[in-house]
Structure 1
């Protein structure tokens, strides 16, 4: 979906609402951790104020992941807010501040689909966890420590210091 700049200029500061659905298959193909995804519904508004164009809104979808610690599948209810500011590529405001978040516009339209896909993918976790405090799998016996308490000793001793551990056993 594209928003024509001329249409925003005719609205004279009044917001132009929009609604679109992003291609779920394409998003899934671009993120390795996504196992399944519902259609991503985006709604928002675009407005021109002075020489700047503002686009803001939110996206919602249910995304299926596999937990990186315990390997259990889970569904994440994603609600992502977005806000972008644009200016024409030849506008002096872009060349004044190289660190600004103002995106240059080439042509007479704002291309929303690619912009929203990037915003959505950047908001997805690269290390998905079913719960923030997920205990994961035991590295010794493989049991899910969220479900069962494990009695394995998972002490990791540096082999260079293993002889020192024996020294302290004798001193007790």
Structure 2
């Protein structure tokens, strides 16, 4: 298995978490798959989906936080060309810093680098329904293959949630109202 995405156990229409299953970090199948969480929330009035993942090359990996933000307004229209419509943009929330990490310090003026865009075809084209475009350090490969895999699988998850009507602010707000940290079931 390359990767998988789905709902958390005993999920319902108001569930805020998605489960992402990835191969083990070691590359050794006997080490078992890794499970990551994709959590939905409302931030500054828009739907966001947050995750953490190991980034980097080869043996030098570290965890960073990322957030898919639902596209809003005219400023996001420039991110993709017609017939594509920007659905979500992926921003890097916690870049690694240090003297030797100049390329990783290249971040936007708001301290958050745009690393990918998820867009869908506004013409409802069945053979080409959506695309993911890597940007910045997401495009250069400096964030690594694991980041790229997580970006693609979470993008696919967002597409599925969109088709179910579960990316709207109202649905997520309803889920937040029902969410009790630490509760099960």
**Which protein has the larger Cα radius of gyration, Structure 1 or Structure 2?**
1
